[in-house]
Amino acid sequence: MLTLIFLTFVLGFGILLLKKPVQTKFVALISLLPFSIFLYLLSFLRSVKDGVNSVLYRSEWIPSLGINLDSKIDGLSLLFGLLISGIGTLVYLYATSYLRGHPLLHRFLSYLTIFMGAMLGVVTSDNLITLFIFWELTSISSFFLIGFNNEQEESRASALWALAITGLGGFFLLSFGVIVGAITSTYTISDLLTQSDVLKDSPFYLLIIVFLFLAAFTKSAQFPFHFWLPGAMKAPTPVSAYLHSATMVKAGVYLLARFTPILGGTMEWSTILLVVGGITMTYGAFHSVFRKDMKGILAYSTISALGLLVFLLGIGTEIALYAMAVFVLAHALYKAAFFLITGIVDHALHTRDITKLRGLKKYFPLLTVAAVIAALSSAGIPLTFGFIGKELIYESGLHYIDYNLSLVLVGALFFTNVFLTGSGFLIGIKPFFGTPIKDYCISHKPDWRLIAPPVVLGFFTLLLGILPVIAYKEIILATFSAMNGAVVEMPLAIWHGVNTSLLLSGATIVLGTAVYFGFKCWNSSMNVVERFEGIAPKNIIAFIVEKFRQLAFRYTWVFHNGYLRSYLAVIIVFFIGLVGYKLFADVPLSVNTVGLSEFRTYELVVFLITVVAVVFAINTASRLTAIAATGVVGYCICLIFVFYGAPDLGMTQFAIDTLTTVLFLLVMFKLPAFLKLGNSKIQFRDAIIAISFGILISIITLQALVSPADKDISRYYAENVYTLAKGKNVVNVILVDFRGFDTMIEGIVLSIAALGVFSMLKYKDDEE
């Protein structure tokens, strides 16, 4: 599996080099990439469909730290993997027509491929650290996808918001992984299944699940982090269909589902998920019917669906977990179809305003069929897969252990489903039926690559709705077992008799239809909703961000004002305060001058020369004299190194001082006139800082002479420098071998700096 993901990344970057081939009529063949992954993942169905077995791949990366590139394929990861690759195939095919002729199509397909590889890595990783790495790659690649139309300011702003919010979640995911690893001494997710009690009994349990929740909530657009998702609708429609139906936004749901058998089942776990999921699903469903833009409706209905999934995980019963698995699949099928249909309408008519769309079945008969099927599935009409999911959702609320709370849960689910039904009809019914408002001018007639994906999704929605046993036996049972930790048979069926769930489904359809027909009334109430925009989470967070930016500006102005003397003063004062406090608070000071060698004549001479050079450097009005004086100070220090048995260090210092002095002299004539400005207050301040620093260093030096020296480290290097590194110069071996990575990274930094300077020089030449 790791090889497959690696090859996906390689192909993703390789597509950037294929600009001309991508612009040919054979570009649709690129959809064979996700399709081949889909076929490969299908081969695992037999291995995991009984819900007991899983396929593990072990690959060491940094074994000393417990960080490995392990992969695990069970029912949960396979369900998400099939959605990523299956819907990805349709999105690739769709995108090659939707963006046909776009000069940056190759770049778009490259981003999409990298994102697909990152998502596959997220859902198959069996190591917390590698999971975090892939998690962050999804945020970065989605940033490029959402901001693909980078000439538009709104697209750039939306991409930045998405990256900021999901990147914040990545920080909490890393924190979660580090804490869990410290408690259990393992980062392997499979091994954590046996450490469930250890984590739940830990005093850090609440902190652990809060970090996990923050990571999941930011990625899956839970309240109050939901606002980045409507903004992400500025992305091209293929991006919206892929990211917001089956992949990125469901990564947070996957994360919660993966850790449900490990951390779930507690009051804290259930309460937080029920509250956040409940607020999100009702808020999103209610807001979805106030929007006129088709993508806006889909954005808020997606937020609601994500909240519903989190809500089901909060309920946590066996029926709820089954409902969650079914709804993940059902929602992906009809929501991806909705997005793709919206893109076709927008592409052809250059509008997504549903108040201006009606009677499109005359122009798009096949597309109308796909739209109606998606709408029926979102409403939970029998013989669609959405009906199976809605039945289970209501069963989850009805069979909750607390009867009084059960009524509240069912009420929230009923409210949500009513408005989701109405918003689904607004997308799948309203634009296609009725008398056309005008004789539409179809600017872009959709070809088979645009029509086929929503039709295929509609076909599978009906197939699984009529024969739900296919989904149950092949994937749903295995997905449930991965979340539940045990196999419990609960076959899916179309008919369970007349019961409360069926009656609730019927009432949902009736009231949802009423919401749909009352759309004009609801839409006119949008002004009421807009009155509360000032306290919307987005505006509150934007206010906090702005205040933080102002604070950062003031901080920068004070501590990074462009004056080198200020930087040095801040650094030295901080050092004096920190080291001085620890020295006088924790160290028993004992100055003993016994044993100190007497001043030798040549040492006294060098010391006096140093003092004279310093005085000259401070008081001279000549830049040349100041440079020469600082050079003399450097050479005197070199001599001191030599006097006290460090000739190699002295030679290094000599070379550096010589080079520095020469460079100063070379640029001296390009510098502005040498000014000697005097300010008694600043001079007094600097004198106090300098004297304090000198006294502190002197005390530390004298204290070091009487403090016991720990020779273990130096003894280790002395004993192993030849046996381990085959070198005789201890300093050189430390730099090259024992600190090899540090030296290598320093070399990389210098190389990057050199490339940057070269690029700037080259750019200047081009301008000239």
pLDDT digits (tens, 9 = 90+) for 296-309: 899 999 999 999 99
Residue identified by tokens 């099939």 is 82
Separation of alpha carbons 623 and 505, rounded Å: 87
**DSSP letter string, 135-181:** HHHHHHHHHHHHT-STTSHHHHHHHHHHHHHHHHHHHHHHHHHHHHH
pLDDT, position 676: 63
Q: Taking a C-beta distance cutoff of 8 angstroms, is the pair 277, 406 a contact?
A: no
* Burial class of residue 103 (count of CB atoms within 10 Å of its CB; 0-12, 13-18, 19+): exposed
First to last CA, the chain: 52
pLDDT, position 766: 45
Helices then strands, counting H and E runs in the chain, come out as: 35, 4
Residues of the chain with pLDDT under 70: 51-52, 438-441, 443-444, 520-535, 590-597, 669, 671-678, 762-768
pLDDT, position 587: 76
Separation of alpha carbons 516 and 512, rounded Å: 6
Residue identified by tokens 């991508």 is 22
**DSSP letter string, 626-687:** HHHHHHHHHHHHHHHHHHTT-HHHHHHHHHHHHHHHHHHHHHGGGSPPP-----HHHHHHHH
Q: Identify the CA nearest to 86 among candidates 139, 23, 37.
A: 37
Strand boundaries in 382-459, DSSP class E: none
For 74-121, give the secondary structure using H, E and C: CHHHHHHHHHHHHHHHHHHHHHHHHCCCCCCHHHHHHHHHHHHHHHHH
Separation of alpha carbons 207 and 261, rounded Å: 18
Q: Identify the CA nearest to 422 among candidates 365, 380, 485, 366.
A: 380
Give yes or no for a cis peptide into 672 (omega within 30° of 0): no
pLDDT, position 584: 84
Separation of alpha carbons 9 and 254, rounded Å: 22
Separation of alpha carbons 280 and 273, rounded Å: 10
Structure tokens at 545: 């961000």
pLDDT, position 1: 76
Residue identified by tokens 């695992």 is 44
Residue identified by tokens 């300011």 is 153
Q: Taking a C-beta distance cutoff of 8 angstroms, is the pair 628, 665 a contact?
A: no
**DSSP letter string, 271-314:** HHHHHHHHHHHHHHHHHHTT--BHHHHHHHHHHHHHHHHHHHHH
The amino acid present at 730, given as its one-letter code, is: V
Separation of alpha carbons 476 and 470, rounded Å: 9
CA-CA-CA-CA torsion for 397, 398, 402, 403, nearest 10 degrees? Answer: 130
- Write the CA distances from 609 to 241, 603, 634, 639, integer angstroms: 75, 10, 11, 12
SS3 (DSSP) at 51: coil
Separation of alpha carbons 260 and 485, rounded Å: 9
pLDDT tens digits, 725-766: 777 788 778 877 777 777 788 888 889 988 888 887 766 544
